[in-house]
């Protein structure tokens, strides 16, 4: 499974990649929570769309790296602590077009979320509501008449994924 920057409609053509968690120093550096794997990969994207409430603005990343245990970034035009503090809590989005292409039979998590899930007999199990990273394999949280945790194991529990049709076929007993 695989784990984006230009003006974009955040909900339609960009991907949520993290959030602004705090500030560092007096020159506008931002501490960020990255949801990429590895976490430092967020710095691979040169332009971020920061979204707060209904407003969004693109920012060019001019520098960044690890400062102790914090991932810290500097954005072009952000040069003081007060302006940086105003961005705390903003969502970090990148344009989908900037993501590397997934390999054959590989999917980004955001592509799986929301897919309808049916078993081989055509019984609806619900929709993928999230994925959980575990040591052995990732697990899909499928919510329908109840919540089910289904291992994301292509070729074992996952028979077919059709993102265009918005569905996934799994080998899973609806009673389990």
Q: Which two tokens stand for residue 69?
A: 């245990």
Residues of the chain with pLDDT under 70: 1-12
What is the set of domains in the chain, with CATH numbers?
A: 10-98 (2.40.30.60), 109-170 (2.30.30.240)
Query: What's the Cα-to-Cα distance from 152 to each of 125, 134, 169, rounded to whole Å?
Result: 15, 10, 12
User: Which of 48, 108, 36 is closest to 73 using CA atoms?
Assistant: 48
Q: Provide the 3-class DSSP secondary structure of residue 84.
A: helix
- Which residue's structure tokens are 């968690």? 21
Q: What are phi and psi of 61, to 5 degrees?
A: -80, 125
- pLDDT of 12 reads 52
Query: Which residues have C-beta within 8 Å of that of residue 152, sequence separation ≥ 6?
Result: 1, 112, 131, 137, 138, 139, 140, 158
- pLDDT of 134 reads 87
Report the distance separating Cα 136 and Cα 95, nearest Å.
30
- pLDDT of 154 reads 93
- pLDDT of 94 reads 96
Report the distance separating Cα 42 and Cα 63, nearest Å.
12
- pLDDT of 13 reads 87
Distance of CA 93 to the CA centre of its chain: 9
- pLDDT of 79 reads 95
pLDDT digits (tens, 9 = 90+) for 120-157: 999 999 999 999 988 888 999 999 999 999 999 999 99
- pLDDT of 1 reads 38
């Amino acid at each position: 499974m695989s784990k984006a920057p230009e003006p974009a409609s955040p909900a339609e053509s960009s991907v949520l990649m993290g959030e602004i968690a705090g500030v560092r120093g007096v020159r506008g550096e931002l501490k960020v929570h990255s949801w990429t794997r590895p976490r430092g990969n967020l710095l691979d994207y040169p332009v971020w769309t920061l979204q707060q409430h209904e407003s969004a603005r693109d920012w060019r990343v001019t520098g960044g790296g690890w400062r102790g245990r914090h991932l810290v970034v500097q954005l072009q035009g952000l040069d003081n602590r007060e302006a940086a503090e105003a961005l705390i809590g903003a969502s970090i989005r990148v344009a989908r077009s900037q993501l590397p292409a997934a390999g054959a039979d590989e999917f980004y998590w955001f592509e799986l979320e929301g897919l309808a899930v049916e078993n081989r007999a055509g019984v609806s199990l619900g929709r993928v509501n999230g994925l959980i990273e575990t040591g052995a394999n990732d697990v899909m949280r499928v919510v329908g008449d109840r919540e089910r945790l289904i291992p994301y194991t292509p070729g074992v529990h996952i028979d077919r994924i059709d993102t265009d049709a918005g569905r996934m076929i799994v080998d899973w007993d609806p009673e389990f």
